[in-house]
Structure 1
Amino acid sequence: MKRIDQPMKISKPRKNHTGFTLIELMLVALLMGLVASAVLFTVDSSAPQKALKRQAKKMAALTEIALDQAVMTGRDYGMVVELGSYRFVELVEQRWQPLADDLLVEQQLKRAQLLLSVDGFPWSPDQLDFSSNALFSEREADLEQDQKEQKHIPQLLILSSGELTPFTVEWRFNESSEQMLTELQQRYRLILKADTLGMIEVKELGHD
């Protein structure tokens, strides 16, 4: 019987896997951070403009709700527009006072600035007088009540007849927000426009 010699099996030396080095891990982390930043910038580069547009559309929606309520309830409302806020008021017993409504509450705007125009001109105190004294000139004067009412006198009327003071509000970012925005974002503008019949639209300035 012949003897068959089996070839010797030579085992290959095992490689020692020591894992990633610290430098490699740091490079991976750096690359992941750069990719995440790029994606975040791409996704959120228009986030401030979208947020501003949502606020402007909310103002339009609340104004429409106020007009509908005025018609349905037979009450006359108004709107007070300031640089960083707006609120609704109500005419009660020939006096303007805050509107007590859970939905139509005062809106404080942290990043937005509002510029009101009426009849195509920037609003000024001597442009329109919707104080109760002007609306009800036959009423007896009451200095104490006049002073209390002063901060609630609206620039815009929202009437139970379904009529609305025609106006435009330019929406832009305020100065404190501009420090965190790009130059393009700083120039971003929105126009909210309303006519006498309560037709309200919001559009980007320079866009149809």
Structure 2
Amino acid sequence: MHNVRRRSRGFSLLELLVVLFVVIMITSLASLNVGSGNQELQLEAQLRDLRNVALFALDEAQLSGRDIGLLLLIERRDGETVYGYDWRERRPEGWRRPLAASDVFAQRRLPAEVRLSLALENMPGIEPEPAPVAEDVAPQVIFYASGEVVPGELEVRRRENDELLWLLQWDLLGRMELLPKGLPAGEGRDGRL
């Protein structure tokens, strides 16, 4: 009988390094995808908050008898352009920060990856105010004490490729709709139901 000796052979260092490299690449890609999904969820939450505060502002304007306005801002931070928003209340001395519900009407910033584009009825392309702004600067969107607001829309676009991410629309009565990619609920990417 021929005696066959089996030689035990382990993995070479090169094989281990290749496997380790592949595992690291897969983990990195997975974490990048999770990270971008998290950013999209955060942006959606911020925009829903903006919509909810705007609806609150309309109610507050009617109850208090004072107009409340949304002031869109743009500022440079660490070499990046960042959009944000603040709120103003019309008083006898002019536009000022709201006295009531100051935590609700706090200034907020959006992620640096997005840019805003505001259009009101018969007034397209309204620019945000460069921050810091004077206390008495007039807001671009006004929620009147009468319960009305000039119809308009706020586009939220990805800065790198100008992709429309969200569209916030409102009518004369302040009814607001937040549309992902600008499409009504139930509509696909190609515009079909």
* Same fold at TM > 0.5: yes
CA displacement at 1:119 relative to structure 2? 0.7
**What is the alpha-carbon distance in structure 2 between the residues aligned to residue 196 and residue 48 of structure 1?**
32
CA contact (8 A) 2:43 2:111 kept: no
Distance in 2, matches of 1:188 and 1:46, equals 16
1:164 maps to what in 2?
A: 149
Larger-gyration structure (1/2): 1
Given that 1:49 and 1:188 are in contact with CA atoms closer than 8 Å, whether structure 2 keeps it comes out as no
Per chain length, whose mean CA-contact separation is higher, i.e. which structure has more relative contact order (CA < 8 Å, sep 6+)? Answer: 1
Corresponding residue number in structure 2 for 1:113: 115
Match of 1:64 in 2: 55
Paired residues for 1:43-192 under 5 Å: 43-44=34-35, 46-83=37-74, 84-100=83-99, 101-111=102-112, 112-119=114-121, 121-124=123-126, 152-174=137-159, 178=160, 186-192=162-168
RMSD: 3.2
One-letter amino acid of the counterpart of residue 122, structure 1? P
| Distance of 1:36 and 1:58 partners within structure 2 | 33
For 2:170 and 2:23, locate their aligned partners in 1 and report how far apart those are by CA, in whole Å: 48
Count, aligned residues: 163
Aligned ranges 1:197-208 → 2 under 5 Å = 197-205=173-181, 207-208=183-184
Matched AA of 1:102: D
Matched, 1:32 2:34: no
State the secondary structure of the residue aligned to 1:189.
strand
Gap runs ≥5 in structure 1: 1-14, 126-147
Query: Which residue in the other structure is 1:195 paired with?
Result: 171
Q: Partners in 2 of 1:202 and 1:53 — Cα distance?
A: 9
More strand as a share of residues: 2
State percent identity of aligned pairs. 27
TM-score, structure 2 normalization? 0.67
Q: Distance in 2 between matches of 1:30 and 1:39?
A: 14
Could you tell me the TM-score, scaled by structure 1's length?
0.63
What CA distance in whole angstroms lies between the structure 2 residues aligned with 1:34 and 1:85?
A: 35
What's the CA shift string for 1:102-155, capped at 9, x where partnerless?
121122224221111111541459xxxxxxxxxxxxxxxxxxxxxx665x2122
Question: For residue 157 of structure 2, what is the amino acid of its counterpart?
Answer: R
